Structure 1
Amino acid sequence: MPAIPVPVLTIGLLLVSNIFMTFAWYGHLKFKAAPLIVVILVSWGIAFFEYLLQVPANRIGHGHFTAAQLKTIQEVITLSVFAVFSWAYLKEPITWQHGVGFALIAAGAWFIFHDWG
């Protein structure tokens, strides 16, 4: 069985970890009647699984990617996951302002990954 390429494994782990973290940070917004201490404890429990994926992703990816590139990948994934989450789970619209903001962040990511020689 061939090994999973480092970029695929790193990005895959970061993607899944960000799904967990998005639910940990924002999933409770649909349950405003729940006591704050309960949502904090549930969020910590969800975040534990995020760390089980995030830390190995960075460990595996570092060397193939720089730390700045890993952080950039994580931020782009975070915003992408959050956009889908806020639209699908929280039923909040994605507006043109979000599109412009995400495009500017994508431009920043391009600068991080571009080899200026």
Structure 2
Amino acid sequence: MNALSSMVPLSLQTVLLLVASNVFMTIAWYGHLKNLATAPWYTAAFISWGIALAEYLLQVPANRIGHLQAGFSVGQLKIMQEVITLAVFVPFAVLYLKEPLKLDYLWAALCMVGAVYFIFRNA
């Protein structure tokens, strides 16, 4: 793993860890709406907490690598996180939860592009 991580740029390590953490986060936050719809809310909450642990185990190193080693500001990390969240959430909502694909997702994505521009323009 050390040899592999030394070959992968720190910025890419950050992004890949954020993507992986977002997959777990999305499943933890929204997966119970389909899988545990008839279970009591506290059952869904405990299962979601277990899934969210995996998210935290990826999110914390992502932010530490991104900020302490790759040199991203906290604001840049947050905007990256939000863009990745939308990129993971939309396919999950449409493909897994069978939500309709709405034009509003495109408008939200365009707003995120603006956020990325403004947070990275002086980097």
Same fold (TM over 0.5): yes
Percent of aligned positions that are identical = 49
1:72 aligns with 2:79: yes
Return the TM-score normalized by structure 2. Answer: 0.89
- Range that drifts further, 47-56 or 26-35: 26-35
Residue of 21, 26, 31 corresponding to 2:30: 26
Runs of 4+ aligned structure 1 residues displaced above 4 Å come to none
In structure 2, runs of 5+ residues without a counterpart are: none
Question: Matches of 1:32 and 1:93 in 2, distance apart?
Answer: 19
1:113 Cα offset (Å): 0.7
- The residue type equivalent to 1:47 in the other structure is A
Count of matched residue positions in the alignment of Structure 1 and Structure 2: 116
- Range that drifts further, 97-106 or 41-50: 97-106
Question: Matches of 2:94 and 2:9 in 1, distance apart?
Answer: 32
Cα displacement string for residues 19-55 of structure 1 (whole angstroms, at most 9, x for unaligned residues): 0000000000113101111100000000000000000
1:6 Cα offset (Å): 0.5
1:106 aligns with 2:113: yes
Structure 1 or 2: more helix by fraction: 2
Residue of 79, 88, 98 corresponding to 1:81: 88
2:103 corresponding residue in structure 1: 96
Cα displacement string for residues 68-94 of structure 1 (whole angstroms, at most 9, x for unaligned residues): 000110010001100011011101122
TM-align CA RMSD: 1.3
